[in-house]
Amino acid sequence: MTLTALLLWATAGIGCLWALRRDPAMLRGALAHTRTSLFTVLPIIAIALPTAGFLSELVPERVAATLFGPDSGVLGHLAATIAGACIPGGPFVSFPIVLALWSSGAGAAQMVTLISAWSVLGLNRVILWEVPLMGWRFVLLRLAATAWLPPLSGLGAEIILACLPPDVLGR
């Protein structure tokens, strides 16, 4: 078990004890919420993880390296921005896709761009949540103000990587 997992379990245990001490009904409510969340997320994980494994085997290295490779330059960051913005779902979908692309030859800086685009631009969230709740005017304003962030973060990652030893990412 990793240190992160141990810390999460310890935090959950402390939270359970604290809730039990304050009010046993609070603990029951928290556990009910946990059960609901688990049954919502578990099917996604069960699909996303094997999908990532299949993707890492199915994506030809030359495709990942050509589109998102470390030498793809600004066009690689633009492709990663578009791809990241189009990835639907949460981290159980996006991070396995990034891992599969990275394992197939994509550059680390381009994957920073992709994850940044997924988190900042997320077109599925725009269509499902922002437009219905906030309207097109707000959405266009937000996208115009933030669309430059993913490529900029990836280019920043390239600068940082240029200052580090070549094997810093373990590849």
**Which pLDDT score is estimated for 64?**
83
37-41, 124-128, 156-160: range with highest mean pLDDT: 156-160
8 inside domain: yes
Q: What is the pLDDT of residues 73-107, one digit of tens each?
A: 999 999 999 999 998 878 877 888 888 888 888 99
139 inside domain: no
CB neighbour burial string for 133-163, b if at least 16 within 10 angstroms, e if fewer: eeeeeebeeeeeeeeebbbebbbebbeebee
32 inside domain: yes
Query: Which residue segment(s) compose the domain that 24 sits in?
Result: 1-47
d(CA 104, CA 63): 8
**Which pLDDT score is estimated for 10?**
92
23 inside domain: yes
**Which pLDDT score is estimated for 89?**
78
Most distant CA pair in the chain, distance: 58
How many domains are contained in the chain?
1
105 inside domain: no
